[in-house]
Chain A
Amino acid sequence: MIELLYWQGCPSYPEAKTLLEQVLTELGRDDLVLMTEVRSDEEAERLHFPGSPTIRVDGRDIDAEGADSRPALNCRIYHLPDGRVSPVPSREQMEAALR
């Protein structure tokens, strides 16, 4: 199961969803992406949501580095392969998690 958890207050999740769907197509997969909106601090705690967007494949976060960050309604920090900061996971992270 592929799940994308997001918070409306952060503008990055549509880009993450589009990139995720592109990667799935390129890998020849037709999985559905379950979109889960996180609306409150309580939900963030309950879902162990470390920021938006968070993508889990079979329950495993595609970015282990940030998976255990404090649950909060915020934009999540990712690092691209070249070290730059991004609010969206990299294509490489997605590919690695989905292969």
Chain B
Amino acid sequence: MSIEPRTEAPPFELLGVDGADHSLDDYRDAKLLALVQYCNHCPYVLAWEGRLMALARDYADRGVRVVAVNSNDVARYPEDSFERMQERDRELDFPFDYLFDESQALALARGAERTPEVFLFDEERRLRYRGAIDDSRDDRAVTRSYLRDAIEALLAGEEPPVAETESVGCTVKWKS
């Protein structure tokens, strides 16, 4: 079950690929915080990856923080191990923190279902948009940029035009 709109962001403290622990409070200065359910092995994540990196760079100076979170079961999906997360970060130099939710507690608390899946929180850390980054995994076929539109609206003090969309992607790989 996913969390409802305007639900408060669940607290967390997770290890990042930089070797440091990162908590929700570490992002207290951000106007908006986008927690993105993420992983290494999913083709949908890879298809959207360039767009998410561009978005993180585009809004970094406007107080928007993007944080990717991998919660997958690494026993069954070793491609998503913390070491592989670090390799991927070294390879691509992610413009966002990439955190390892080994216990899956953060994914459970947010009701995450897919990778990639966005949870955008406002300055009071209330959920204001949940779902897909945009409306097509094919970057040439995008007609609606849900996440960008939600960010622009919130930065302008307005309601996001769409509060929730269906995420298309791989399932979160839960521990059995």
The interface of chain B, by Cβ under 8 A from chain A, is 41-44, 46-47, 76-77, 137-139, 168-171, 173
**Residue from A41, A74, A78, A84 in contact with B42 in the complex, judged by beta carbons closer than 8 Å:** A74
**Residue from A72, A74, A86 in contact with B47 in the complex, judged by beta carbons closer than 8 Å:** A86
Given contacts A9-B170, A75-B170, A86-B137, 15 further A-B contacts (CB under 8 A): A9-B171, A10-B170, A10-B171, A11-B169, A41-B76, A72-B77, A74-B173, A75-B169, A76-B43, A77-B43, A78-B43, A84-B47, A85-B46, A86-B43, A86-B47
**Residue from B46, B77, B138, B139 in contact with A74 in the complex, judged by beta carbons closer than 8 Å:** B77
In the complex, the answer to whether A87 meets B43 with C-beta atoms within 8 Å is yes
Q: Measured between alpha carbons, how far is A12 from B138 in the docked complex, in Å?
A: 13
The interface of chain A, by Cβ under 8 A from chain B, is 9-12, 41, 72, 74-78, 84-87
A72-B76 in contact given A86-B47, A87-B43, A87-B137 (Cβ < 8 Å): yes
What are the nearest 7 A-B pairs in CB distance? A87-B43, A85-B46, A77-B43, A75-B170, A9-B171, A85-B47, A75-B43
> Which one of A41, A78, A85 has the greatest number of beta carbons of chain B within 10 Å?
A85
Contacts of B43 on A, CB cut-off 8 Å?
12, 75-78, 85-87
Chief secondary structure at chain A's binding surface: loop
Chief secondary structure at chain B's binding surface: loop
Q: Could you list some 7 contacts between A and B, CB below 8 A?
A: A9-B171, A10-B170, A74-B77, A75-B169, A76-B43, A84-B139, A85-B46
**Distance (whole angstroms) from the CB of B113 to the closest CB of chain A:** 11
In the complex, the answer to whether B77 meets A75 with C-beta atoms within 8 Å is no
Q: Measured between alpha carbons, how far is A11 from B168 in the docked complex, in Å?
A: 7
**Distance (whole angstroms) from the CB of A63 to the closest CB of chain B:** 12
Q: Measured between alpha carbons, how far is A84 from B50 in the docked complex, in Å?
A: 10
Contacts of A87 on B, CB cut-off 8 Å?
43-44, 47, 137
In the complex, the answer to whether A74 meets B41 with C-beta atoms within 8 Å is yes
In the complex, the answer to whether A75 meets B47 with C-beta atoms within 8 Å is no
Q: Measured between alpha carbons, how far is A30 from B138 in the docked complex, in Å?
A: 29
* Chain A residue with the shortest CB-CB distance to B50: A84
**Distance (whole angstroms) from the CB of A4 to the closest CB of chain B:** 17
**Distance (whole angstroms) from the CB of B175 to the closest CB of chain A:** 13
